[in-house]
Amino acid sequence: VKYKAYRGMASLGANIRRRLLERGDLDAESVAQIVPEGVESYVPYRGKVEEVVNHLLGGLRSGMSYCGARNIEELRRNARFIRITEAGAAESFDKLKQT
């Protein structure tokens, strides 16, 4: 399994990288003054960005079709949020885990 580094824009690593690019060097005192707000982690590699974006667009198109929307403006007008029971949520989650 391949992994990809994930850094939130306010994480320690992102702050250090940004300051290095801006200033060219960074001492220990400067690093100690950084207050990170984001997270850093490794996430499973999901493929090329193009593939991931195409997958997301397919999901968006599918959701739009459920609302009878042909564009984003129609989606805003037609979309309705509904509450589901805990049992319904659990059933939906179980289906997601199976894919």
What backbone phi and psi angles, to 5 degrees, belong to 40? -130, 140
Measured in whole angstroms, the distance separating CA 80 from the mean position of its chain's CA atoms is: 23
Quote the longest CA-to-CA distance of the chain: 57
What is the domain range of residue 11? 3-44
pTM reported for the whole predicted model = 0.51
39 with 53, same domain: the answer is no
57 with 26, same domain: the answer is no
Return the ∠ at Cα 43 (arms to 97 and 1), rounded to 5°: 80
Task: Please choose, from the candidates 62, 55, 9, the residue with its C-alpha nearest in 3D space to the C-alpha of residue 36.
Answer: 9
Question: Which amino acid type is present at position 75?
Answer: L
Q: How many domains is the chain built from? A: 2
**How many Cα neighbours within 13 Å face the side chain of 90?**
3
39-59 pLDDT per residue, tens: 899 999 988 999 989 999 999
6 neighbors 40 (Cβ within 8 angstroms): yes
Confidence (pLDDT) at 65 = 94
Reported as a pLDDT band with limits 50, 70 and 90, residue 98 is low
